[in-house]
Every structure is written in C-alpha cells, then in structure tokens.
Amino acid sequence: SKKMILDLDTGVDDAMAIAYALASPEVELIGITGTYGNVLVDQGVRNSLAITDILGHPEVPVFRGIEHASTKDSFEVLPISAFIHGKNGIGDVEIPDSPRPVEEQSAVDFIIEAVHKYGKDLVYVPTGPDTNIAAAIKKDPEIVNLIGNIVIMGGALTVPGNVNAWTEANISQDPEAADFLFRSGAPVTMIGLDVTLQTLLTYKDTQKWRETGTKSGEFFADMVDFYIKAYETTAPHLGGCGLHDPLAVAVAIDPTLVTLLDLNMKVDVEGPTRGRTIGDEQRITDPHKTMKAAIAVDVDRFVNELIERIGNL
C-alpha cells in the first residue's frame, strides 16, 4: 500500500488530517513530522503523540522538525491562531499526554530516509509551513526525483488569503521555503484555501461523532466544535469550519476528489504580495509541469467521506 508522512503544526484541522489518514485503508501512515504554526513545534509534537494514542495508533512515530522559518531566528504563535485552534492547538480540550517520547531522529533525516526507502510509493503531506521539506531537499536534492508526490495544504490560486489580501497562513510562515519547494522540480500538488474553504463541517456533523460514544468520537466533536465556534466569529458567512488539512490528505489518497490544473508555480517573496502563490513566469511555457493546483472539489463526496471515516475510528 501507499505510505504517507504527515507534516503538521498540529492544530484542529491537522488533527482531523491525522484521523482521516488513520481511517483510510488505502494508506499506511509511517510517521508524523512536526512543524510550527498553529502552535510551537513542541506543542504540535505533543498533540500528534496524544492524538495518535487516543485514536489507538501508538505505533506511529512522531519526529520533531525545525522550529522556525530559515529566514528567522524564532517563532511566536499569533493570537489569531490561539483563537482559532485554542491555546493548546486542540480546541483547549484536555487529553492525556502520551507516555511515548518523540523520536530521536530529526524530521528532516526521517523524510530523507523514507524517500530513499519507499520512493514513488511515498506521499508526503505538509499541512503547515513547508520548512521541513525544503530543508530535506536542500540536504539531499536527489529526493525530488525519487518521491511519489507532495500534497501541500497552502496558498490559493484565486481568492485572497486568510492572513492578508494575498497570503495564506501556511505559506506566510515561510514563503522562501514554499517558493524553493515549488521551483525545486519535485512533484507538488497544491490544495489551496480557495478550494478548502468550500468544504465545511457543522455542529450537526460533529454530533454524529459524539453519538458514537467513543472517547475519540467525543474528543473530536469537542475539539472541532471549538474550531466551528471560532469560524462563527472570523467567517460567519461560511456557516461552518474549513476542512483545510484533511482535504490535502484525502487528495493524496484519491486525487479524483478535486480538479487539478497543471501549472508551474512560485511564491512571491518580496514586496507587498509576499507570500502569494502564483504562476511562475519563468516556467509558464515549459511543457514539463512539476506542479498541480486544485481548482475545484467534489464537496459532498469529500465531506461525507470525512464524517464517515473519522466517525468509524
């Protein structure tokens, strides 16, 4: 079967990404690498360990990644992230810490090793900043030709971002890393905000998880309800919360859930549009496309899959 690595800044939708992957018989989750964003890297790692435990999968190893963008020397969680995901990243719901330690190997070395081991069978899904994968490619450039696919949640092809008019949160944390990844020649599929914001979850949906009566069902319902409540304040017109990160996982498993455009892209790293994901004018006529961008999604099919898969865990 296909092997998957998730790279997470483990907030609420990242947690749903873990659940979606673990509920999918089509893939084996061989590891989680931690990044920063919704929370600090150590809190994200802690969340990933606790969530894999609560979902009954303590065999999934968790690796600590780089704690800030390569262009900066530190990282601080934005107040808006704490508002949307809770101070602990998981909707301020308390779950027991895992007794398992984080792995000793670094996230970057684990990624490189896994690409050499599994090659085209490996799909890597970053749902936070692209700092770890960019560092892995810098350390071992050969991996761009070996890896099966990289499906990122980040950016947008059409609509404005969620940080400012141009920029989506994950890309904004480390535009240089995303730009390096986009132009590295690695196969990259971009699942942007314009598509993920079409896929929404409501209280009615989370209630189904609560009704399963399981510990994990109750935890996911409580955690996601916190996130839906935040969306009621930040984006009341939507009528639910965005399913950003689990959509990237779902597409990594089944690309037919979205319509993909073959397009070589880049990220603006300078000026007022810093962080914008856009067609790369240098490679626009290059017949060889290394990137695909999602432009539409089968909303009902995906949302139903998500409710059902996570509900069955």
Q: How far is the CB of 245 from Ca ion (least distance, A)?
A: 5
Which listed residue (4, 6, 7, 14) binds Ca ion by CB under 5 A? 14
Measured CA to CA, the distance from residue 189 to residue 262 in angstroms comes to 9
What residues numbered 77-136 form the site for ligand BDR, per CB under 6 A? 127-128
Answer for which of 162, 167, 264, 290 binds ligand BDR (CB under 6 A) is 162
Query: CA 285 from chain center: how many Å?
Result: 30
Q: Which two tokens stand for residue 116?
A: 């050499």
CB 138 to ligand BDR: min, Å: 23
Among residues 85, 174, 244, 245, the one annotated as catalytic is: 244
The 193-222 site mask, x for binding ligand BDR (CB under 6 A), equals x-----------------------------
User: 262 catalytic, yes or no?
Assistant: no
Backbone angles phi, psi at 151, to 5 degrees: -110, 110
Residues 6+ away with beta carbon under 8 Å from 251: 151, 189, 191, 257, 258, 294
In the block, tokens 């600090």 appear at 40
What one-character DSSP code corresponds to residue 13?
Answer: H
How many other β-carbons are positioned within 10 Å of the β-carbon of residue 179?
21
244 is catalytic: yes
> Bridge partners of 31?
5
Q: Which CB, 81 or 112, lies closer to ligand BDR?
A: 81
Which of the listed partners (Ca ion, ligand BDR, none) does 169 bind, with a CB threshold of 5 to 8 Å by partner kind?
ligand BDR
Binding region for ligand BDR (CB under 6 A): 11, 13-14, 37-38, 127-128, 153, 162, 168-170, 193, 244-245
Residues with catalytic function: 9, 244
